[in-house]
Structure 1
Amino acid sequence: MSEKACQVLIIGGGPAGMSAARAALAGGAQVVLLEAGDALGGQFWRHLPESRKGGEEQVLHHKWRHFNTVQRELRDDPGCEVVLGAHVWAIERPDGGQAPAVHVMVGPPDGADREPRTYLPQSIIFATGGQERTLPFPGWDLPGVYTAGAAQALAKGERVAVGQRVLVAGAGPFLLPVVTSLIRTGATVIGVAEASGWKRLAKGWLSRPWELAATRSKAGELGGYLREMVHHRVPYRAGTTVIAAHGEESVESVTLARLDADWKPVPGTQRRVEVDAVCVSHGFVPRTELALTVGCTVDAHGFVVVDDQQRTSVENVFCAGELTGIGGVDLALAEGEIAGATAAGTQPRASVVKARNVFRAFAERLQTAHGIRPGWQTWPEPGTTLCRCEDVTVGEVREVAAATQARGLRSLKLTTRAGLGPCQGRTCGRNTEEILSSCGLLDPGRTARRPIAIPVRLGELAATTSSQREETP
């Protein structure tokens, strides 16, 4: 196993990470950029590989020219090492003020023939992004029920439509680009069901309208999506969601219902709609496991707390992008540039700081208009699966919490097994926390606390330990 010292280590090769690397290089720093995928760009710029690249990438991606420019700069700069297929599995913080040791496996994600590496950086920038959150409902584990992000990834990265008759449901403006991606891969989108009602949407988007003038680029994107929907006659229904999916071997229909302001279904409004696929997204949660490992402070919503220069509560550790709040690509780019410049010891551009503040306000609008409401907990039935890995139902979690009167997240997880499967709570963690909290949980904690961040084979760990012994004089 090789150990490598570096000045600035950036974990995550999406918009925030790429922007941070570019700014750190401009400040004269030596940079290592780690990306778990096989290409830079993250989820936002997911695209076909170079070996079979498409001719319409600029149509499917906003800021595609910017991506190509930054990617070329990073690859051509001798001060930057881009490592693809780099999976960070643990970070150690030695005593005595020593640099943290970032342990990485480089290679295919299945764990075969990976190369262990350890980086000893002076500064770390976490740009690990977020992942979709899907709220459980009866039938959400049927084949044909996708997250909206998975459907978009298949459309962008493989040009594959998830179905022929597709419904898109959930909350947030992310549903709209998913519709566009589905249409361009040949799917018929029968509608968009937005859980937030018109009154709440208006409160989030129409208050203080003068502030929206600074986000004209967002308005242009929104206009493009709406034109596409109008052209293809895709209806948009606010205050509506999927509360059940039905089918034998795969989804065949869904039940839609109107929701009240708390997202509780309004009695008598249920109706069935035939589909062969449904794409669901209820927003995003940050991928904070690595930031929590080094001790970064998070707020009540699970986001990493940073100052105006993207510094966390841990010295020489920075965060940028969805880790600090869900605000879209413009916020991620601005935060990445500020973090990269500061980590390199230079001052970020004033215009970028101003842009960051503007798009932080935009992120607050997103939360006001589309944030999850507690009434979702009335959707699942007792037999609805909550934790897919361990096959734990919503009813089982509630029954165990009531029977044991346990008040700790750890003890309830151990008793129910919820969140302890292969995904380690990445899919069900936040939902499990909220359901347990409603049962009287006093110390909810965070299911994102994972000392070992990704699956690592015992053979890989044994090989790493063996190589360390061989290198020790």
Structure 2
Amino acid sequence: MTAATGTVGTTGTTGATRVAILGGGPAGLAAAQAALAAGAAVTLLDEGGRLGGQYWRHHEGLTDRRLQHGWARFERLRGVLDRAEVHTGASVWSAEASDGVVRLRAVVGAADAAGRVALDIEADAVVVATGAHDLALPVPGWTLPGVTTAGAAQALAKRDGVTVGRRTVVSGAGPFLLPVAQSLSVAGSEVVGVHEASRLGGLAAGWLPRPWQLVGKAGELVEYVGALARHRIPYRIGSGVVRVLGTDRVEGVVIAALDADWRPIPGTEREVACDSVALGHGFTPRLEVAIALGAVIEGDRRGRFVVVDESQRTSVDGVFAAGEVTGIGGADAALAEGAVAGFMAAGGALDDGRMRGPLAVRRRMRAFAARLERAHGIQPGWTSWLSDDTVVCRCENVTRRTIAVRADAPLRAMKLATRAGLGACQGRTCGRAVEAIVADAGGAPEGFDRRPVLAPVRLGEVAAVATGGPEQ
């Protein structure tokens, strides 16, 4: 088998600033549009089979347009990419920035397929717009068939028009639960309840102050509330799934009222029959490439993000970041940040008139992101719904008890002893949960996202880039 090789990143006017963009979601597409408008030569790489990211999921002939929000915006952004070099199905496995040059190495093709194309990309600047994946906190029974993340349930409904089950419980925290419930209902599942963990006090603290700042989001809220009413979907605050029931697959769940710290309130448990569960407790950024490039990451167990300035520049020369990697704020924030990052990466200036709109939206959406955290941020009491034998690391089948026993060991020693975070997902699914359990047991984790694997590649594919020849 062979792997073709090539050096890319030179599309466009000779001598133009070369801008590489990692990610084809809202932030990446907006960055590409802005960089092209500033006269840059743009190369965009996205690991998905089609552009749009997690927000604009679609499949020609299957997609229900009722589930595609802001589709006209997506088509406008996609329409300018005929002037860019675009690679979908691209997995970046190496990223370096030094001496004013950014170098990326990637392979293009289906995962683990033969004959993937090896790319060696050089650029003057890069915009990291790798987005986030949804975060589902573990509960006893969550490894049963029929349990998915809220994002997976949304993706199946939006892209393929299918649901995991006929009766679904949606549980977690955050406004994302509302469109998930809407999508599942449109796709044909009976949503028997949406359970928001945050209580009234937390929701009020996040959403009630300065209501005029929410004008741009009011229409979405009305749409989702209307969808819940039409489909007669109960929406319960201060409650959540604390156990999934079943033997070979989901047969039901235990719902409990939660206190302000998300601890189950004794005596409030009740069983609900269902055959599928969608769990979503927010999102966690995909920081692998930003870390590899050396960008400063700050935060705590509630969330770590890439640090950027007003121009979306990171701590590394020539490296910009936009979208969920800088803070969870939704598609509108990602679009605005992407536009700023792409324009500045191409050598633009913040006082350019074309930046007036994106900067205004960014200010508004940063305030929205702060509200989101105040209202729906993960509270520490959630670990109290775990039993000792609850599987936390699904890849390596590691339980809470196993992790807690090794909590006082250094992070590396704990991982080697328990195998937590060393499986196929490299801690992307379990990392934050493991950190919380270690902290509860008196340990001090150093952070699960410090040395991630960017993407799995064959040694032959690495050699193909190094030698400029075919994979052996």
TM-score, shorter chain, exceeding 0.5 = yes
Q: Which amino acid aligns with 2:68?
A: H
Q: Does 1:454 align with 2:455?
A: yes
- Choose the corresponding residue for 2:74, options 44, 67, 73: 67
Work out the CA distance in 1 between the residues paired with 2:283 and 2:97: 29
Checking the alignment, whether the CA contact within 8 Å between 1:18 and 1:70 is kept in structure 2 is yes
Q: Could you tell me how far 1:8 is from its partner in structure 2? A: 0.1
Q: Is the 8 A contact 1:88 1:454 kept in 2?
A: yes
CA contact (8 A) 1:193 1:237 kept: yes
Matched-pair contact (CA < 8 Å) for 1:91–1:290:
yes
Which one-letter code corresponds to 1:453 in the other structure? L
Q: Deviations over 1:211-235 (max 9, x none)?
A: 22xxx23110110010010111111
Residues 438-449 of structure 1: matches in 2 within 5 Å?
Answer: 438-442=440-444, 444-449=445-450
Q: Report if the CA contact (8 A) 1:136-1:379 is conserved.
A: no
8 Å contact kept, 1:302–1:446: no
- Partner of 2:264 in structure 1? 265
Residue type at the aligned position of 1:119? I
Distance 1:242 1:451 in 2: 31
Who is 1:100 aligned against?
A: 102
Describe the SS at the equivalent of 1:303.
strand
1:67-466 paired onto structure 2 within 5 Å: 67-75=74-82, 77=83, 80-93=84-97, 97=99, 99-212=101-214, 216-300=215-299, 301-348=303-350, 349-401=355-407, 405-406=408-409, 408-442=410-444, 444-450=445-451, 452-466=453-467
1: CA distance, partners of 2:349 / 2:400: 50
Alignment RMSD, CA only? 1.6
1:347 is displaced (CA, Å) by: 2.5
Aligned-partner residue type, residue 20 of structure 1? A
Matched, 1:39 2:84: no
Residue in 1 that maps onto 2:7: 3
Q: How far off is 1:321 after superposition?
A: 0.4
Using the alignment, how far apart are the partners of 2:246 and 2:96 within structure 1?
47
- Secondary structure of the structure 2 residue equivalent to 1:299: strand
1:11/1:309 CA distance change after superposition, 3 Å: same
Q: CA deviation at 1:92?
A: 3.1
Deviations 1:269-305 (A, max 9, x none): 0000000101010000000011011111111131111
Q: Which amino acid counterpart does residue 73 of structure 1 have in structure 2?
A: V
Q: Structure 1 CA distance, aligned partners of 2:335 and 2:365?
A: 10
Percent identity (aligned):
50
Q: Where does residue 18 of structure 1 map in the other structure?
A: 29
Distance between the aligned counterparts of 1:445 and 1:74, measured in 2?
Answer: 41
Task: Please say if residues 90 and 452 of structure 1, whose CA atoms lie closer than 8 Å, have aligned partners that are also in contact.
Answer: no
Q: 1:29 aligns with which of 40, 60, 63?
A: 40
Deviation at 1:140, TM superposition (A): 0.6
Separation in 1, partners of 2:294, 2:285? 15
| Cα distance, 1:235–1:455 mapped onto 2, change above 3 Å | same
Distance between the aligned counterparts of 1:115 and 1:453, measured in 2? 17
Unaligned stretches of 5+ in structure 2?
11-17
- For 1:235 and 1:453, how far apart are their aligned partners in 2? 41
- TM-score normalised by the chain length of structure 2: 0.93
Give the secondary-structure state (helix, strand or coil) at the position aligned to 2:297: coil
C-alpha displacement of 1:458: 3.4
Q: In the aligned structure 2, how far is the partner of 1:114 from the partner of 1:280? A: 35
Aligned with 1:361: secondary structure?
helix
C-alpha spacing 1:451/1:264, structure 2 compared with 1 (3 Å): closer
Structure 1 residue 439: deviation in Å?
2.4
The question of whether the paired residues in 1 share the 8 Å contact of 2:129 and 2:323 is answered with yes
> 1:357-408 deviations in whole A, cap 9, x for unaligned?
110000000000000000011111110001111111010010122xxx32x2
What is the alpha-carbon distance in structure 2 between the residues aligned to residue 67 and residue 265 of structure 1? Answer: 42
AA aligned opposite 1:242: V
Cα separation, 2, equivalents of 1:225 and 1:338: 30
State how far apart, in whole Å, the 1-side matches of 2:97 and 2:393 are: 32
Does the aligned pair in 1 maintain the 2:426–2:452 contact within 8 Å? Answer: no
Flag structure 1 segments of 5+ consecutive residues without an equivalent. Answer: none
The secondary structure found in structure 1 opposite 2:313 is: coil
**SS of equivalent to 1:435:** helix
Deviations 1:13-32 (A, max 9, x none): 00000000000000000000
Aligned-residue offset at 1:3: 2.5
Q: CA deviation at 1:454?
A: 1.3
1:98 and 1:330 map into 2 onto residues whose CA distance is 31
Shift of 1:420: 0.4
1:469 shift after superposition: 10
Kept after mapping to 1: 8 A contact 2:100/2:317: no
Q: Is the 8 A contact 1:90 1:451 kept in 2?
A: no
SS at match of 1:100: strand
CA distance in 1: counterparts of 2:312 and 2:203, whole angstroms: 30
Q: TM-score, normalised by structure 1?
A: 0.93
Aligned residues: 453
The answer on whether the counterparts of 1:169 and 1:278 sit within 8 Å (CA) in structure 2 is yes
* Structure 1 letter corresponding to 2:78: Q
Moved more, 80-89 or 342-351: 342-351
Could you list the per-position Cα deviations for residues 183-225 of structure 1 after superposition, in whole angstroms to 9, with x for gaps in the alignment? 111111111000001111111100222322xxx2311011001
Shift of 1:451: 5.3
